[in-house]
Amino acid sequence: MTDCRHTFDWMGPSNDHHDEQFGHVVELASIDDADRFDAVLVGEPFDRAVIGRKGASEGPAALRQHLAGTKTHHFDAGPVGSLADLGDVTLGDTDPDEQSVTDLQSRVRTIAERVHDTDAFPVFLGGDNSMTYPNAAPLLESGTLGVVNFDAHLDVREVREGRGPTSGTPYRQLYEDGLDAYACVGARHFETSTDYAEYVREQGGEVVTAEEVGDDEVAAADRALDAMGDVDRIYVSVDLDVLDASAAPGVSAPTPGGITTRELFRTLRLLGSEDRLAGFEVVECAPGLESGTANLTATAGARAIAHLLSARPKRGRSDGGRERDGDGEIGGRDGRTSTGGRR
């Protein structure tokens, strides 16, 4: 049976009692309880479909770890709203390695449909880019949909018979299901075949290159939103290979010439305030492919989540995820006080 299982114990690592970190405010919850929160996290630890180097199955754990130590305050927006972790998608007794990518997409879609049916804003933690299709496809069932894809690549490869979907096919699959609008932001020259670039143009899609983002990230965000037209809902995806290889070496295909983290964060905040936004994901975080201990890729992915959530409307937040003890210390989701680590 496909379901979600909690795999991470949220704690803020700061020992300063004035600090509030995501590790202090994220609560564990089930899909049935998701309506109580502004946003929910869903992990998808699968990388069967990666065309290049594998390792994105470790992404959800790494993103949670580095989000837990991120402070919740944005200078313009204040602290984030209420946030829950629904856990990782699991397949019961089924071994994911024995499933075809098509089967995995089908199983993940059953969870995504349930999450989209709640009042909470979904944030999917990848996992490889093939999960974009089941994450966004349920939104096509009731109204028009546009997708903004932060990516070095267009990811509109054909689904070939005998191989099935890959990390390079999600937007072709969505187009074939009726996707109404598409914009790729941060696309790199010399990373896409002419045939695929022409396919996107034929579909009326927009391509904003990494150079154009660097010239003016506000104009880049405007172009992406203009490309959405009057669709009912918008889904935003961040493939971390959109970042320059110096900022995100832990991805399947790191290359030079990408956008900076600051450009990504600002653009995400501009999109995050869009009232039609119906879902968000960060995919292709493969921490094991990054050498050293800086954890640049997972940190960038975690900060991307924080920046987008900071722009979302807030319904208010209970103290359930950040209880303070009698000395004013901030506790974890069960009231425990964090004592380890530094900022």
Is the pLDDT score of 56 beyond 50? yes
Is the pLDDT score of 121 beyond 90? yes
User: Mean pLDDT across the stretch 148-173?
Assistant: 95
Record the tokens describing residue 184, joined without a space: 């790729």
Check residue 330 and give its pLDDT: 41
Element (H, E) at 48: none
How is 216-253 classified by DSSP, letter by letter?
A: -HHHHHHHHHHHTTT-SEEEEEEEGGGB-TTT--SSSS
**φ/ψ of residue 20, rounded to 5:** -120, 120
CA neighbor of 115 nearest in space, from 7, 8, 2, 25:
2
pLDDT tens for each residue of 1-15: 678 999 999 999 998
Determine which of 89-93, 104-108, 131-135, 274-278 has the lowest per-residue pLDDT on average: 89-93
Q: Coil, strand, or helix at residue 55?
A: coil
Parallel, antiparallel, or unpaired for β 83-90 and 3-5?
antiparallel
Check residue 91 and give its pLDDT: 80
Check residue 98 and give its pLDDT: 78
| Contact predicate 33/24, CB 8 Å | no
Check residue 92 and give its pLDDT: 73
Does the domain at 3-310 match CATH 3.40.800.10? Answer given as: yes
Parallel, antiparallel, or unpaired for β 39-44 and 145-150?
unpaired
Check residue 323 and give its pLDDT: 40
Check residue 338 and give its pLDDT: 37
pLDDT tens for each residue of 75-98: 999 999 999 999 999 987 777 677
User: Mean pLDDT across the stretch 247-259?
Assistant: 96
Record the tokens describing residue 263, joined without a space: 């450009």
User: Mean pLDDT across the stretch 115-126?
Assistant: 98
pLDDT tens for each residue of 182-239: 999 999 999 999 999 999 999 999 999 999 999 999 999 999 999 999 999 999 999 9
Check residue 326 and give its pLDDT: 39
Is the pLDDT score of 17 beyond 60? yes
Is the pLDDT score of 175 beyond 90? yes
Q: Which residues is 205 bridged to in the sheet?
A: none
Distance of CA 72 to the CA centre of its chain: 17
- 163 pLDDT band (50/70/90 cuts)? confident
- What is the rounded CA–CA span in Å between residue 132 and residue 147? 10
**φ/ψ of residue 32, rounded to 5:** -65, -25
Check residue 2 and give its pLDDT: 75
Average model confidence (pLDDT) for the chain? 91
- What is the rounded CA–CA span in Å between residue 289 and residue 127? 14
Determine which of 64-78, 85-99, 109-123 has the lowest per-residue pLDDT on average: 85-99
User: Mean pLDDT across the stretch 306-324?
Assistant: 71
